[in-house]
Amino acid sequence: MSKNPVLSAVDIWKSYGNGATFLSIIRGACIEISEGEVVSIVGPSGSGKSTFLHVCGVLDPPDRGTVSVRSMDVWSVSESRRAKIRNGELGFIFQFHHLLDEFTMLENVAMPSMLAGNSRKEALDSAAMLLKEVGLSGRGQHFPSESSGGERQRAAVARALILSPSVVLADEPTGNLDSANSRNVEDLMFKLAERRNQAFIIATHSIELAGRAHRCFTLDDGILRS
């Protein structure tokens, strides 16, 4: 496994509200992740796992601290540069797949590529390859409503990967699946991390999934510990 760091977050602080509603959620968290590495974050509900993933994924700014993607401090560059990094280097998988019902599975997977300006043909070709990689070849013309929860989540994994992100942020990716489908999606993430040298940061309540990661962090009372 290569050891090039792809994402580092240093001394991250994040709070919500102010005055009587002030909540200090993340207090001085640091994480560094290398290519092909799978890192898990566990912690009680409300401990800030999603908040931290959003900060690491450049969806939300930290109050304090720096987030760097491939050594670029993402909050010190222009919004358009930041959007480019977010779209080009980072992928997201959520607990609920968020596939669009009016599009086929193939079109759903291809969507980020089309939105990034690639031709429809190019996007659909890469989507078809990815669907094959996640074990869904032959399901491309089906709609999400005609697919099982596990199949939809595997399509969501494929969609997160279509622009070949360096880092995938997965927020409870198996939280909505039964144990067989969870195992399937887990295996898929580990396989892709190894094959494509992509890094995964996975927030989860599953001790089994957390334990399979190369490194496991715990978030509790605002503090991230390895």
User: Could you give the CA distance from residue 32 to residue 47 in angstroms, rounded to a whole number?
Assistant: 20
Q: Hey, which bits of the chain come out as E strands?
A: 5-16, 23-34, 38-42, 64-69, 72-73, 90-93, 167-171, 199-203, 215-220, 223-225
Nearer to ligand ATP by C-beta: 41 or 158?
A: 41
Nearer to ligand ATP by C-beta: 48 or 173?
A: 48
DSSP 3-state assignment of 11? Answer: strand
Residues 4-33 that bind ligand ATP (CB under 6 A): 16-17, 23, 25
DSSP state of 25: E
Nearer to Mg ion by C-beta: 41 or 124?
A: 41
Nearer to Mg ion by C-beta: 108 or 182?
A: 182
Using rule CB under 6 A, residue 45 touches ligand ATP: yes
Using rule CB under 6 A, residue 47 touches ligand ATP: yes
Sole window of 49-57, 103-111, 119-127, 148-156 interacting with ligand ATP (rule: CB under 6 A): 49-57
User: Could you give the CA distance from residue 48 to residue 31 in angstroms, rounded to a whole number?
Assistant: 14
Distance of closest approach, residue 32 Cβ to ligand ATP, in angstroms: 21
User: Could you give the CA distance from residue 192 to residue 175 in angstroms, rounded to a whole number?
Assistant: 19
Question: What phi and psi, each to the nearest 5 degrees, are found at residue 15?
Answer: -135, 165
Nearer to Mg ion by C-beta: 34 or 50?
A: 50
Distance of closest approach, residue 170 Cβ to Mg ion, in angstroms: 11
Nearest residue to 147 via CA among 136, 162, 159? 136
Distance of closest approach, residue 25 Cβ to ligand ATP, in angstroms: 5
Residue 211: partners with Cβ closer than 8 Å, 6 or more residues away = 40
Distance of closest approach, residue 159 Cβ to ligand ATP, in angstroms: 21
DSSP state of 36: T
Residue with tokens 């509200």: 17
Measure CA of the first residue to CA of the last residue in the chain; give whole Å: 20
* Among ligand ATP, Mg ion, none, residue 211 binds (CB under 5-8 Å by kind): none
Sole window of 39-47, 107-115, 116-124, 131-139 interacting with ligand ATP (rule: CB under 6 A): 39-47
Q: Which two tokens stand for residue 163?
A: 């622009």
Distance of closest approach, residue 185 Cβ to ligand ATP, in angstroms: 17
- Per CB under 6 A, residues contacting ligand ATP are 16-17, 23, 25, 43, 45-51
